[in-house]
Amino acid sequence: MTLLDINKLTVEFPTRRKVFRAVDAASLTVEPGQIHGLVGESGAGKSTIGAAVLGLLERPGHITGGDIVFKGDTISGLNADAMRKLRGKKISMIFQDPLTSLNPLFTVKEQLVETIQAHHDVSDAEAVQRARDLIDRVGIPDPDTRLDQYPHQFSGGMRQRVVIALALCSEPDVIIADEPTTALDVSVQAQILELIKELARERQVGVILVTHDMGVIAETTDVVTVMYAGEVVESGPTEQVMGRPEHPYTQSLIAAVPRPTLKLHRFPQISYGGRETRFAIEDLARNWPKVENDPSKPLYEIKGITKRFLQKRGLLPWSREYFTAVDQVSFDIKPGEVFGVVGESGSGKSTVARMIAGLYQVDEGEVIFDGKTVSNLGDKAVQEAYRQDIQMIFQDPFSSLNPRMRVDEIVAEPIRHHKLMEGNAIQKRVEDLLDQVGLGASAALKYPHEFSGGQRQRISIARALATQPRFLICDEPTSALDVSIQAQILNILKDLQEHLGLTMLFISHDLPVVRQMCDRVAVMKAGKIVEIQDTESLFANPQTEYTRELLDLMPKLDDLSTENLE
């Protein structure tokens, strides 16, 4: 029997000006033991479907059409109390960010026991026993100790296991997993997905897996539904949809996925819905100072840099404890190349970037840029000159732009700071830059919140280009973005390297992206570099066990259609 049948569901959010239709007549079904992938870009309405099934739509959103049938009973339109009984008991949910979905002030045991007792009439002792079994089942070692710990004492992956245990408390029939692995490392992601697959099989639970990650879909799901702008554009068995996509949107989406096995010169720009934004690299290159890259001399020499963070404070030097985030890291960056640093979270890759950028002091070793030592600068003049030559693009386009500043102020700030121009020339330059990155000069007078994630990352790029730097540090520049937007931003970065001769340090945990972007790659683990190689040979022939493991964990995208790729 079909577990969950969503039939022509329509969800609307009335706003002051017009009614926004978040989900438009979407239909899908979930069978017991089946994992149903729901894929699409942000704003496609996939999370809204999940919220609608649970009756957790944010007001003023409400269901205006269609119905949701759970095991033969229509559940859409039930009152709040009946919905609450269903929630958790029959249908559970797993949220995206395990760091924020657990209450920080209660132990894991308290949260589990509370949830178990909300659904089952059991004694305290029995509830604790069940909680212990669940913790054990989701693969958390040493459940007896772990039960009495608080969420902050767990790592991200372990917390997501706790979240899954909480979702299982009531023995639900359907689990809605909303981007359950987006915030996790690749290795942890693989484990969590494996756990979800096992649970689905073992308990015959139907799972709706909401994600924007095609790799996750290809690896995990049995059936997939592709959504675009609130509508279902394509639905069917995963292999069929991924391998032979029929709808042009699905085709463009799949074409934009970076492949681990294939290096593309550029990502194909297949636009759907007319949202493609141009990037005027030729205009930008015309006014760019000519850089002569001398390939024989490295642009950067990083010599044994080390960073320690104070872990335990103490009055006396010997009672202090330090954590070594980066340990004796050395490498060269040649002019004009894109140098990648990969590693899992906590491997110290961002710390390396920050030390090179001068945001962190270097505890040992030195950073030499263009023949001059630039680490721990004392000399103000050298410092200012260096700062002008390097710029950073950060991961999170939402927090890296000051929300109280207008876009023109944001982009003009580096120009003003370095006193590169004055008066109207600044305004002109800012407008040109915004035009060149594809936002149009009219963006100057808006504030960051008026833009989407991809557009904001373009603002960041405009800001980084304002001082006409020679070196760009990109710290996970696309990991917060949708695939198609990611493809656009990566293309822009490729253009910058090619046409302006920019050198880049590209930090990422996403190996397929690194393969597309980088000329050489350093693999980091626990503060040390384990391997440095040319990208192609690294992927073809990894030298260390750790790199091999990382490569093995990459989602296999062999089933994905290779149509439309160059």
Binding residues for another protein, rule: CB under 8 A, are 54, 56, 84-89, 92-93, 95, 97, 100-107, 114-115, 118-119, 150, 152-153, 163, 166-167, 169-170, 309, 311-313, 321, 323
Burial class (CB in 10 A: 0-12, 13-18, 19+), 272: middle
Closer by beta carbon to another protein, 114 or else 384: 114
The total number of residues shown for the chain amounts to 566
Supply the minimum distance, in Å, between the C-beta of residue 50 and another protein.
Answer: 9
* Residue 51 DSSP one-character state: H
Cα distances (angstroms) measured from residue 391 to each of 358, 463, 529:
11, 9, 24
Assess contact for 153 and 164: CB atoms under 8 A. Answer: no
Supply the minimum distance, in Å, between the C-beta of residue 525 and another protein.
Answer: 19
**What span, in angstroms and rounded, lies between the C-alpha atoms of 458 and 42?**
17
Closer by beta carbon to another protein, 80 or else 125: 80
**What span, in angstroms and rounded, lies between the C-alpha atoms of 418 and 496?**
22
Closer by beta carbon to another protein, 313 or else 449: 313
Closer by beta carbon to another protein, 289 or else 317: 317
Supply the minimum distance, in Å, between the C-beta of residue 148 and another protein.
Answer: 11
Supply the minimum distance, in Å, between the C-beta of residue 23 and another protein.
Answer: 18
Supply the minimum distance, in Å, between the C-beta of residue 87 and another protein.
Answer: 4
Closer by beta carbon to another protein, 86 or else 433: 86
Supply the minimum distance, in Å, between the C-beta of residue 496 and another protein.
Answer: 35
Strand order in the sheet with 62-70: 19-30, 4-14, 62-70, 73-74
Closer by beta carbon to another protein, 82 or else 445: 82
Give the CA count within 13 Å in the CB-facing half-sphere of 307.
27
Closer by beta carbon to another protein, 121 or else 422: 121
Supply the minimum distance, in Å, between the C-beta of residue 337 and another protein.
Answer: 34
Closer by beta carbon to another protein, 196 or else 224: 196
Beta bridge partners of 206: 174
Instruction: For the chain, report the end-to-end CA distance as a whole number of angstroms.
Output: 44
Closer by beta carbon to another protein, 170 or else 467: 170
Three-state SS at 52:
helix
- Return the ∠ at Cα 495 (arms to 216 and 560), rounded to 5°: 25
Supply the minimum distance, in Å, between the C-beta of residue 398 and another protein.
Answer: 16
Three-state SS at 476:
coil
Supply the minimum distance, in Å, between the C-beta of residue 51 and another protein.
Answer: 9
Assess contact for 47 and 58: CB atoms under 8 A. Answer: no
Closer by beta carbon to another protein, 309 or else 398: 309
Between helix 453-465 and helix 424-436 the angle, nearest 10°, is 130
Supply the minimum distance, in Å, between the C-beta of residue 42 and another protein.
Answer: 17
Query: Which residue type occupies 30?
Result: V
**What span, in angstroms and rounded, lies between the C-alpha atoms of 554 and 512?**
8
Supply the minimum distance, in Å, between the C-beta of residue 105 and another protein.
Answer: 5
Structure tokens that stand for 148 in this block: 């009495």
Structure tokens that stand for 78 in this block: 């039930």
Q: What are phi and psi of 474, to 5 degrees?
A: -110, 110
Q: What are phi and psi of 427, to 5 degrees?
A: -55, -45
**What span, in angstroms and rounded, lies between the C-alpha atoms of 375 and 352?**
12
Closer by beta carbon to another protein, 312 or else 419: 312
Supply the minimum distance, in Å, between the C-beta of residue 62 and another protein.
Answer: 16
- Residues ≥6 apart with Cβ < 8 Å to 504: 337, 338, 339, 471, 472, 473, 474, 493, 496, 497
Assess contact for 218 and 556: CB atoms under 8 A. Answer: yes
Three-state SS at 353:
helix
Closer by beta carbon to another protein, 103 or else 261: 103
Structure tokens that stand for 552 in this block: 């093995």
